[in-house]
């Protein structure tokens, strides 16, 4: 049996789809994945994925050339297609006209129903279960075992060694933590997808780490976020215990660094899900509101700590589509620092007030 998962949105969501890939694979499906070219490397070494194809390679002018996607799928004799999320509508159009006998559309709306897809109704607003669990409703409806909801990101031995060696060369003494201040749209304020601290608060966190501990810090992020980080005080960024790697790491290099670090401080974004997948410890600021809470998006590997704002003050509790973005000053860099210290997972690092 052959299955195709079509996922054209964000990196973190692709990582959180790997439990569904695993369930399909263990049920006997050869699982092919079509996703954005920039994100496919996150599936390298994954034993539950038969092949990956860049979406841009199939239909570079999507949605105008959606028929190219239909032709590509039709030629491969799939038994099952899963379109997640089933937007824009051209994705379900392409899936519908292929002759594939089983077709699932997750959050597909009227167009998915009209094109006779099996629509998976797992309303984010209506249930406080983890996103990966919501996707596994497909497995339930196919009658196959779920096989767990922890995401997969498989690093080779040499990849894991690369991260450990890189940190030991740069930081001969002390433990290393990863600080990923962006994510969730912080570099693009108009399209934030989750709540996050202002960049200035992460600068305050870094300032206290460098002044009050012997921890080493790896700054990560995309090139836009690197420009925001570079606006911080030069004394922080030029400190020998700070490595500004934002914009300089591939996805797999980032995963390797995260796996070799003692803690990753990150909001609800792709690096959090990468840390979850590689078994790393995390500390994340979260709102308790619908669709943005740690219950829906948090680290599920048993090593995920959360700094959460009060349910009584979170505007999203009363208005589900509201996004406070910056926690309205309730969560700060200093509170994040104190929470990191309280975790006590950083070995010999001492918390000494100077």
- Mind listing the pLDDT tens digit for each residue in 175-184? 999 999 987 5
Contact 264, 181 (CB under 8 A): no
Strand partners, 30: 2
* 18: enclosing H helix or E strand: helix 18-26
Handedness of CA 14, 22, 300, 351 (dihedral sign): negative
Give the contacts of 298 (CB within 8 A, at least 6 positions apart): 130, 268, 272, 284, 286, 304, 306
Q: Model pTM greater than 0.85?
A: yes
CA separation for the pair 87, 106 (Å, rounded): 9
Q: What average pLDDT does the segment 259-281 reach? A: 97
315 pLDDT exceeds 90? Answer: no
Phi then psi for 118, rounded to 5 degrees?
Answer: -80, 110
pLDDT-derived band at 352 (thresholds 50, 70, 90) equals very low
Percent of the chain scoring above 70 in pLDDT: 91
| Structure tokens belonging to residue 327 | 């926690």
pLDDT for the residue numbered 120: 76
pLDDT for the residue numbered 121: 65
| Structure tokens belonging to residue 212 | 């009050």
Domains annotated for the chain, with CATH where assigned, are 2-142 (3.40.50.2000), 157-343 (3.40.50.2000)
Contact 195, 287 (CB under 8 A): yes
pLDDT for the residue numbered 123: 52
Segment 184-243, tens digit of pLDDT: 544 433 345 678 899 999 999 999 999 999 999 999 999 999 999 999 999 999 999 999
User: Which position has the token pair 């897809």?
Assistant: 117
Work out the mean pLDDT of the chain and round it to a whole number: 90
Q: What average pLDDT does the segment 116-138 reach? A: 78
Q: Quick check: bond before 63 cis, omega within 30?
A: yes
Give the contacts of 43 (CB within 8 A, at least 6 positions apart): 14, 18, 33, 35, 49, 52
Strand partners, 104: 82, 118
Contact 135, 84 (CB under 8 A): yes
Phi then psi for 343, rounded to 5 degrees?
Answer: -70, -30
Q: Which of 43-52, 154-163, 313-322 has the lowest mean pLDDT?
A: 313-322
16: exposed, middle or buried (Cβ count in 10 Å: 0-12, 13-18, 19+):
buried
CA separation for the pair 117, 331 (Å, rounded): 43
Percent of the chain scoring above 90 in pLDDT: 75
- Taking alpha carbons only, the member of 67, 69, 57, 52 closest to residue 17 is 52
Q: What average pLDDT does the segment 256-260 reach? A: 98
């Amino acid at each position: 049996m052959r299955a195709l998962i079509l996922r054209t949105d964000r990196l973190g969501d692709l990582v959180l789809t790997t439990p569904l890939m695993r369930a399909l694979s263990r049920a006997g499906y050869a699982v092919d994945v079509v996703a954005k070219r920039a994100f496919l490397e996150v599936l390298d070494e994954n034993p539950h994925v038969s092949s990956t194809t860049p979406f841009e390679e199939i239909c570079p002018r999507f949605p105008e050339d959606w028929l190219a996607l239909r032709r590509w799928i039709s030629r491969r004799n799939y038994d099952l297609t899963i379109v997640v999320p089933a937007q824009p509508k051209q994705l379900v159009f392409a899936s519908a006209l292929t002759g594939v006998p089983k077709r699932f559309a997750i959050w597909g709306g009227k167009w998915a129903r009209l094109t006779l897809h099996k629509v998976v109704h797992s309303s984010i607003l209506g249930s406080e279960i983890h996103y990966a669990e919501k996707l596994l409703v497909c497995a339930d409806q196919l009658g196959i075992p779920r096989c767990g909801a922890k995401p997969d990101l498989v690093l080779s031995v040499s990849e894991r060694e690369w991260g450990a060696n890189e940190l030991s060369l740069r930081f001969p003494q002390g433990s290393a933590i990863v600080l990923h201040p962006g994510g969730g749209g912080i570099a693009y304020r108009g399209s934030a997808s989750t709540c996050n601290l202002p960049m200035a608060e992460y600068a305050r966190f870094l300032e206290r780490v460098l002044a009050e501990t012997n921890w080493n810090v790896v700054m990560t992020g995309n090139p836009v976020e690197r420009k925001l980080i570079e606006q911080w005080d030069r004394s922080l960024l030029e400190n020998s215990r700070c490595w500004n790697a934002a914009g300089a790491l591939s996805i797999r290099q980032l995963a390797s660094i995260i796996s070799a670090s003692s803690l990753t401080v990150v909001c609800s974004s792709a690096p959090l899900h990468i840390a979850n997948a590689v078994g790393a410890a995390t500390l994340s600021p979260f709102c308790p509101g619908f669709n943005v809470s740690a219950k829906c998006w948090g680290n599920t590997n048993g090593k995920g700590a959360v700094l959460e704002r009060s349910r009584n003050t979170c505007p999203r509790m009363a208005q589900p589509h509201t996004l406070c973005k910056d926690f309205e000053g309730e969560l700060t860099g200093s509170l994040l620092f104190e929470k990191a210290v309280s975790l006590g997972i950083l070995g010999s690092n001492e918390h000494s007030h100077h």
